[in-house]
Every structure is written in C-alpha cells, then in structure tokens.
Amino acid sequence: HLQLRCFRMLYLSLFSEYMFFQSFLQSFYSQKFFFFVFSSRDFYAMITESAFDRNEVSFMNIRHKRKEKEESVSTARELFQWVAAIVAAVLIALAIDNFVIVNAQIPSGSMENTIMTGDRVIGNRFAYSFSDPQRFDIIIFRYPDDERQLFIKRIIGLPGETVEIRDGKIYLNGSDEPLEDVQTKETMVGSFGPYTVPENSYFVMGDNRNDSKDSRYWTNTFVTKDEILGKAIFRYWPISEFKILE
C-alpha cells in the first residue's frame, strides 16, 4: 500500500507538472501569436501610413508646381494684355491724329488775339471732304513755301476772287465797299495787291494783321485745297482758355 500511494503521488505530481507545462506552452504560443498579429498589423499600418504620407507630399508638390505654373501663365497673360492695350492705344491715337484730327501747337502770335502763342488746337480733317472751305474759316495747312511746316490762318479770299488791301481795309472784286472783317487784334495798316486767287486756292491772313507772315508776303501766295489739312475747331490748351474757334 505504501508503494501504491507513493506511485499515485508521483503520478499526480508529474501530471500536474505536465498540465502546467502544457498550459504554459499554450499561453506562450497564444501570446506570441497575439504579439505577431498585432505587430504585423502595426507594421502594415506604419507602411500604409508612410506610403500615404509620401503620396500626399507628392500630390502637394504637384499642386504647388501646377499653381506656380498657373500663376506664371496668368502673369504672362496679364502682361501681354497690358502690352496689347498700350500698343492698341498708341495705334488708335496715331490713326486718329493722322486720319481724323489735326493736333497743332501755335508757335507764333500771328493769330492773336483769337489764338495765343503756345495754345493747342484741334482741327477736323473731314471738314472739307464733302464741302469747300468758306470765308473766315480758320484752317491748318502746309506752308506753301515749305510744306514741312504747318501754319494756321484765316481764309479771306476764295477761288476766283480778287483781293485788294487799301489803307488797311479789304476789298473784293473791285468793290468800293470794304469787307466786313472779323475782329482783329488791331487795325491793319498798309496797302497790298490786288491778288487774283486761282481756282482751288485761297488767300489767307492772320488775325494779328500787322504781325503775320501770310499770303501778302509769301513767294507762293495762295494755299491750295490739297495743302489744307483741316478746319480748326476748338482750342483745348490751356484748359482754362478752352473755346470753340469761329
């Protein structure tokens, strides 16, 4: 009986140790698997997150480069629009100045007191496109003795008329009655003529009759219609002296 009891005790002891060892192994492997599973999941998450970060950075770089490119294109387009606007404005101004108006500055006092030295006036190039110049019109024209220069005077004699100045008064076609003249700076003195105005030509004088280099003194006495650039319409400078010219 004693041997049987000892054997049973040994058996129970070995069995208990076996069960403990089995339990330990199960616990170890389950924890190791658990650790592996979760470690693998974290590693995957880390890789995924890293890849996502790289993709996000790459995407942000692409967006930044695209934005820079768009800004560069926008700046170039804006610059081109400004240049185009300036060029268009210059071309329009040149076209208007050469085909629509005459922009002239008065260099002398020959038209005082109607127009003063240094004044700026605008002439209409189309004024005589469908009609002929009239007496007392103020015209801007190429100087007959030197067409590089522009002059501004008032028309006195029309084509086919005879103009004579006696004692400062103007007579047309041998009339005994002097021409009712425009208001001048001062009473004209002297006698000139007679001048017979050719067809398609005009006899002109400045309003400052005693200090005007005009048809009375030129080698080529008359202004042809082809030499007339336009009819003076108004004075625009100085601004405070703006007025319609008559």
Could you list the active site residues?
Answer: 110, 153
Alpha carbons within 13 A on the beta-carbon side of 198: 9
What CA–CA distance (Å, rounded) separates 187 from 168?
7
Closest C-alpha among 228, 104, 235, 234 to residue 155:
228
List C-alpha distances in Å: 240 to 13, 119, 207, 237, 243: 127, 11, 22, 7, 9
**Which residue reads 């085909």 in tokens?**
99
Type of residue at 4: L
Type of residue at 79: L
* DSSP annotation of 95: H
What CA–CA distance (Å, rounded) separates 134 from 154?
10
Helix (H) or strand (E) holding 91: helix 2-99
**200 backbone dihedrals φ, ψ, rounded to 5°:** 65, 25
What CA–CA distance (Å, rounded) separates 120 from 234?
9
